[in-house]
Structure 1
Amino acid sequence: MTEPVVVVATVVPKPGRDEEVEAAFRTAVAATHAQDDGCELYALHRSVRGKEGFVVVEKWSSADALRAHGGGAAFAALSAEVADLLVEPLGVTVLQPLPAGDEELGRL
């Protein structure tokens, strides 16, 4: 059985570019939900404490699904749209689950 893959992506807009970055990500979320097979979760969040910007929490059915997303139309369009709007490149962290405690609560 293939294990799901969880990803946390961080986005730091240049000063004054938050609205543009948020709009680009809202479009990308909708496109990803509609187009990318294996997407189990792709959720945009605004950071309200800590580093400013946005965080996308993702869950993919497999590493292959994540790779396909990375090479897909929705991600390509997003990357092009925000290329000049970010302070730093998109930060991507791929996580390995370490379930503990209650099986329902200890894993995404």
Structure 2
Amino acid sequence: MSFVIVATVVPKPESRDAVREALLAAVPQVHTERGCELYSVQEDEQGFVFVERWADQEAMAGHAQGEALKTLMATVSDHLAQPLDVRVLQPLPAGDPDKGAV
């Protein structure tokens, strides 16, 4: 069973560019992690939102303990306006298989 993660990153206003740069640098590294099916970052006026999909709980745990995430957090932690908001979700596919699930 795959797992979806939605993680919200809110940078301090003066740190937005530095946080964006660090997030984008981490993406290619995470894409190589075992079980990574989707790892994408979006941006809005408040900050950044990651949408992730992991093959299983072991892959998700491996990412949480992985070098890419550790490096990313060490780089951005002092630049955040609030703690990360991370939600782990289980997909509920519905309708068209290509459109009804992340």
TM category (shorter chain) comes to: over 0.9
Q: Which has the higher helix share?
A: 2
1:32 is aligned to 30
Normalising by the residue count of structure 2, what TM-score does the alignment of the two structures yield? 0.94
2:15 is aligned to 17
Following the alignment from structure 1 to structure 2, what is the Cα–Cα distance between the partners of residues 33 and 96?
20
Normalising by the residue count of structure 1, what TM-score does the alignment of the two structures yield? 0.89
Q: CA RMSD in A?
A: 1.0
Task: Indicate the percent of aligned positions where both proteins have the same amino acid.
Answer: 46
Q: Does 1:67 align with 2:61?
A: yes
Q: Does 1:76 align with 2:94?
A: no
- How many residues align? The count is 102
Secondary structure in structure 1 of the residue aligned to 2:88 = strand
**Runs of 4 or more off by more than 3 Å in structure 1?**
none
* Unaligned segments of structure 2, at least 5 residues: none
Following the alignment from structure 1 to structure 2, what is the Cα–Cα distance between the partners of residues 23 and 104?
31
